[in-house]
Structure 1
Amino acid sequence: MSNLPKKTDAILIGAGIMSATLGSLLKELASEWEIKVFEKLENAGEESSNEWNNAGTGHSALCELNYTSEKSDGSIDIKKAIKINEQFQLSRQFWSYLVDRNLIRNPQDFIMPIPHMSFVQGEENVSFLKKRFDALSNNPLFQGMQFSDDPEKLKEWMPLIMEGRTWNEPIAATRIDSGTDVNFGALTRMLFDHLKSKNVEINYNHNVKDIKRTSDGLWEVKVHDINSGKIEYHTAKFVFIGGGGGSLPLLQKTGIPESKHIGGFPVSGLFMVCNNPDVVAQHHAKVYGKAKVGAPPMSVPHLDTRYINNKKTLLFGPFAGFSPKFLKTGSNLDLIGSVKPNNVLTMLAAGIKEMALTKYLIQQVLLSNEKRMEELREFIPNAKSKDWDLVVAGQRVQVIKDTDAGGKGTLQFGTEVVSAADGSIAALLGASPGASTAVHVMLEVLEKCFPQHMQEWKPKIKEMIPSYGLSLVENPDIFQEIHTSTAQTLGLIKKELVYS
């Protein structure tokens, strides 16, 4: 049997939300392109995109305090909050486009309306939250936000959190009803069903072992068919590496200059999930707190109403952990295997600079169940251990790189596209807000990798995503129109009346 490479136009590695989004965009923009997907697991959306492996928050900075920082003069910087919110609006628009055209159906299976709240304790934190509210509430992207430090009002907003609470320090919360809970696992599976109907070849149980450039400029991908044991070779003009934590090792195999001097630090997550339906019924919101002093941004505690398999549930976390694996299904050799001659100094510098993070992770790993319950009781004073189980969430690999601002070995928070100078290959690295901003990130991939097509594609992109290229904060009328229309298409307005 011939083992000659099989040619295609584009190869997507990993069957998560990023590949699903990029594939769906490409099929609308260049329907004639032949696309192949390779995923080492049995189904789509089984790693980072899976509903049990992420917070399921439609990240739009409505409640996440780490997107608004306090400046030295005491004022609140809302630039990042505006950016994240605008990026999530792009996702809503693309999902609405797909629903409007029956390319995906039943949006309630992946997105539900849920109030987003920020909750703080202590005089200093209450002062911060009030200033944050003042800075955001006059902005069109955050209209409808409310603030209260009145215990009676807070009992209405979050009865479970207020029950049994003593008044030994000031508390306050903000609330905005236009937040969402997003089941990214369900959405990913819907998008891959759509891609399959568009004749995209999706290969599950296929593990990509190597990527290299051929003499004619194509990329050759070496793939192990796990079921048959055979090795296959596929070539393409364009490759996207969307393998979550597994993207960094594959990017390193490409040898492109842009892959040098980049490292990764894996962080695992745990959530507590409520097994008592009576407790679940008492809470209806995503409530985000403030990270403890010295703790990293990914440690922000939150108590979340979630809809998983059309069932309402309640999660609290995350608790961080450490594993040398880059994926839940990865190898204990992942971290050491990612250390190369070109990034060893970057990694060592990060190790020295991030001693506080290392200490934090060790403390988290050593937490007993009772210690976790103590943290939960800061949110739910009457929480009982028997009502809560522990679930292991996904692995996240934080990017480490040398930057002008942070110097050598700077730990990056957020997502980052790394692409070759000629745009022939791109990889997505990093973590939150990740899935929520998948459409924005994949538009960035298109702009970086297909600049020669963007003028031709722009009218179609504008049809799919009307605010593409616009600042919504500078065009409040357009924002209002888009926000209302996407809410109607995705069923968010109607559902708010039913569930609030």
Structure 2
Amino acid sequence: MGIGEHYDVVLVGGGIMSATLGVLLRRVQPDWSVLVLERLDGPGLESSSAWNNAGTGHAGLCEFNYTPLRGDGSIDVAAAIAVNEQFHLSRQLWARLVEEGALGDPAGFIRSVPHYGFARGAAGVRHLRLRYEALRGHPLFEGMEFIRDREAMARWLPLMFAARPDDGGQVAVCRTRTGTDVDYGVLARRLLASLGDVPVRTGHEVRSLTREGRRWRLRVRDTKGSDEYDVRGSFVFLGAGGGTLPLLQSAGVPETRGYGGFPISGRFLRTAAPGLIARHHAKVYSHAEPGAPPLSVPHLDTRVVDGRAYLMFGPFAAFSPRFLKHGRLTDLPRSVTGRNAGTLLGAARGDLGLLRYLVGQLAQTRDGRLAALRRFVPDARPEDWELVTAGQRVQVVKRVGGRGSIAGFGTEVVTPAQGGLAALLGASPGASASVAIMLDVLERAFPDRLPAWRTALRSLVPSYGTPLAGQPDLLRKVTERSAAALGLNDDAPHEAGRG
């Protein structure tokens, strides 16, 4: 390592995004030199880690926040359809790599877990029914089942319904059997390992980013030896989670000069009690409480991490000024500049509902968290559950309609006009849509090369460029192929304790 180092591509961050982009670039341009820089001691340990995200293969199968109600009382399902299409792209890439023998046994990173929507109260049941009616006839959502029968619910979800008191029939569930649980940390590490001779430097932190002619200069610190050195890249991708915004600020990227970041942490209740796990094999998403933001949607999830099964319930919001779970307490104050201070203050005034929600979450007691859990698991005992801290997310704050605002809770790709750089900001659905997002990066960053790359990309992702919703034969073909390669049981029933 030295001052003369130069690479065609430098990927900053060793998570699922950089790993996915590395795989795509190596396939379409194998002669390019690639370097991966990760500040932690191993790849996939920050936002991609199994304990730092929900592990849901987000496909719009059960999440209420992807099907919001309009002002006239109708339902908007466009986001659910879009994220389902995106997850199909991810499945196709992973399946192709498994077929090639590049990812090992897929059971180590993906497994079948049915997804459920769970509604409480008259308004919640109406929302779930509208959701079901709008999606059940769509080819991407074939096989959805809506029920209000308590006996059937108890068979499907015994942990939630076997001991539930009578609530006047104001509950309903909607099941989709084709859901998945994904360990994105394991997947990221396997994707990076499949790159062969690409160096992955762990314990190396990018401190700054500077434009030098047609290249970018990265100042890198070896966190173990504290030595610093320079790396130059013709193309740099910033997939560093909460660490991306400070690097964009150091680079002076015009498109993001007024951007700010608002960090939000999450906590979950977790159990490994065998008796509870045996009674729940599902990811169950409900609707946010009145006045709460979309990120607060409660869910009770089956998780499998390092071969061991768990249940997790949450999220409960928390606050830390760190931009990464393993970040610095000075991250937030250091990110405030003269250019974004007004934007941040405007967002604070304009998003008072979110701030009130966060204050309420910070004040929540153990009894309050247990009460929230008992809306899902009526007979939950506090001694069975522990509170764990999940990952740190930085929401983008920018000017929308002339004022500062938290710009949604999705992902945002930044490709500055000066070229040679792409960055990813934001959060969910993130990892599930990693392939779609990285294909978007290729389209934006390399428009002139894309026509020559399409054949190679379609060999990895057969439906690339073709919406599956309008191609039922192609949808059936890619779904069956990916299910077979990934060992997913898309058709068989899944009751508790099976799958």
Query: TM exceeds 0.5?
Result: yes
The alpha carbon displacement at 1:152 in A equals: 1.0
Q: Give the Cα separation in 1 of the matches to 2:328 and 2:157.
A: 42
In the other structure, the counterpart of 2:206 is 208
Indicate the percent of aligned positions where both proteins have the same amino acid: 45
Instruction: Tell me if 1:486 matches 2:482.
Output: yes
In the other structure, the counterpart of 1:452 is 448
1:53-202 aligned at under 5 Å gives the runs 53-169=52-168, 170-195=170-195, 197=196, 199-202=197-200
Amino acid at match of 1:22: L
Q: Give the Cα separation in 1 of the matches to 2:442 and 2:201.
A: 23
Residue 142 and residue 495 in structure 1: after superposition, are their counterparts in 2 closer, same or farther (change >3 A)?
A: closer
Residue 421 and residue 121 in structure 1: after superposition, are their counterparts in 2 closer, same or farther (change >3 A)?
A: same
Amino acid at match of 2:44: G
Residue 210 and residue 104 in structure 1: after superposition, are their counterparts in 2 closer, same or farther (change >3 A)?
A: same
Q: Check whether the contact 1:423–1:450 (CA below 8 A) recurs between aligned residues.
A: no
Q: Check whether the contact 1:350–1:411 (CA below 8 A) recurs between aligned residues.
A: no
Q: Give the Cα separation in 2 of the matches to 1:172 and 1:494.
A: 23
What's the secondary structure of 1:332's corresponding residue?
coil
Q: Give the Cα separation in 1 of the matches to 2:65 and 2:46.
A: 25
The Cα offsets for residues 254-284 of structure 1, whole Å up to 9 and x where unpaired, read as 1121121111100001011113111111101
Residue 3 and residue 465 in structure 1: after superposition, are their counterparts in 2 closer, same or farther (change >3 A)?
A: closer
In the other structure, the counterpart of 1:317 is 314
Amino acid at match of 1:179: G
In the other structure, the counterpart of 1:440 is 436
Q: Check whether the contact 2:90–2:433 (CA below 8 A) recurs between aligned residues.
A: yes
Q: Check whether the contact 2:178–2:490 (CA below 8 A) recurs between aligned residues.
A: no
Q: Check whether the contact 1:320–1:365 (CA below 8 A) recurs between aligned residues.
A: yes
Match of 2:410 among 399, 414, 429: 414
The Cα offsets for residues 34-88 of structure 1, whole Å up to 9 and x where unpaired, read as 0011111100111000000000000000000100011233221111110010001
Amino acid at match of 1:421: A
Q: Give the Cα separation in 2 of the matches to 1:46 and 1:297.
A: 26
Q: Check whether the contact 1:21–1:191 (CA below 8 A) recurs between aligned residues.
A: yes
Q: Give the Cα separation in 1 of the matches to 2:88 and 2:418.
A: 30
Amino acid at match of 1:193: A
In the other structure, the counterpart of 1:217 is 214
Q: Check whether the contact 1:5–1:220 (CA below 8 A) recurs between aligned residues.
A: no
Q: Check whether the contact 1:239–1:426 (CA below 8 A) recurs between aligned residues.
A: yes
In the other structure, the counterpart of 2:239 is 242
What's the secondary structure of 2:36's corresponding residue?
strand
What TM-score, normalized to structure 1? 0.97
Amino acid at match of 1:24: V
Residue 164 and residue 497 in structure 1: after superposition, are their counterparts in 2 closer, same or farther (change >3 A)?
A: closer
Q: Give the Cα separation in 2 of the matches to 1:467 and 1:283.
A: 34
What's the secondary structure of 1:95's corresponding residue?
helix
Match of 1:293 among 290, 294, 300: 290
Q: Give the Cα separation in 1 of the matches to 2:84 and 2:118.
A: 19
What's the secondary structure of 1:375's corresponding residue?
helix
Instruction: Tell me if 1:37 matches 2:44.
Output: no
Q: Give the Cα separation in 1 of the matches to 2:84 and 2:190.
A: 24
Q: Give the Cα separation in 2 of the matches to 1:108 and 1:59.
A: 18
In the other structure, the counterpart of 2:272 is 275
Q: Check whether the contact 1:272–1:316 (CA below 8 A) recurs between aligned residues.
A: yes
What's the secondary structure of 2:360's corresponding residue?
helix
1:336-347 aligned at under 5 Å gives the runs 336-347=333-344
Q: Give the Cα separation in 1 of the matches to 2:124 and 2:357.
A: 22
Q: Give the Cα separation in 1 of the matches to 2:199 and 2:410.
A: 30
Q: Give the Cα separation in 1 of the matches to 2:13 and 2:363.
A: 33
Residue 494 and residue 442 in structure 1: after superposition, are their counterparts in 2 closer, same or farther (change >3 A)?
A: closer
Corresponding residue pairs, total: 495
Q: Give the Cα separation in 1 of the matches to 2:163 and 2:423.
A: 48
Query: Tell me, which stretches of 5 or more residues in structure 2 are unaligned?
Result: none
1:258-269 aligned at under 5 Å gives the runs 258-269=255-266
Q: Check whether the contact 2:350–2:404 (CA below 8 A) recurs between aligned residues.
A: no
The alpha carbon displacement at 1:402 in A equals: 1.4
Q: Give the Cα separation in 1 of the matches to 2:473 and 2:70.
A: 30
The alpha carbon displacement at 1:494 in A equals: 8.0
The alpha carbon displacement at 1:252 in A equals: 1.0
The alpha carbon displacement at 1:115 in A equals: 0.6
Amino acid at match of 1:210: S
Q: Give the Cα separation in 2 of the matches to 1:129 and 1:7.
A: 54
Q: Give the Cα separation in 2 of the matches to 1:228 and 1:275.
A: 39
Q: Give the Cα separation in 2 of the matches to 1:10 and 1:334.
A: 27
Q: Give the Cα separation in 1 of the matches to 2:490 and 2:142.
A: 19
The alpha carbon displacement at 1:189 in A equals: 1.1
What's the secondary structure of 1:390's corresponding residue?
strand
Q: Give the Cα separation in 2 of the matches to 1:120 and 1:282.
A: 20
Match of 2:390 among 388, 393, 413: 393
What TM-score, normalized to structure 2? 0.97
Q: Check whether the contact 2:115–2:176 (CA below 8 A) recurs between aligned residues.
A: yes
What's the secondary structure of 2:339's corresponding residue?
coil
Q: Give the Cα separation in 1 of the matches to 2:359 and 2:281.
A: 33
Q: Give the Cα separation in 2 of the matches to 1:436 and 1:366.
A: 32
Q: Give the Cα separation in 2 of the matches to 1:497 and 1:161.
A: 18
The Cα offsets for residues 273-327 of structure 1, whole Å up to 9 and x where unpaired, read as 1131111111010000111111111110000011111122111111110111000
Q: Give the Cα separation in 2 of the matches to 1:452 and 1:340.
A: 36
Residue 26 and residue 3 in structure 1: after superposition, are their counterparts in 2 closer, same or farther (change >3 A)?
A: closer
Q: Give the Cα separation in 2 of the matches to 1:41 and 1:355.
A: 35
What's the secondary structure of 1:69's corresponding residue?
coil
Amino acid at match of 2:179: G
Q: Check whether the contact 1:273–1:389 (CA below 8 A) recurs between aligned residues.
A: yes
Q: Give the Cα separation in 1 of the matches to 2:270 and 2:209.
A: 40
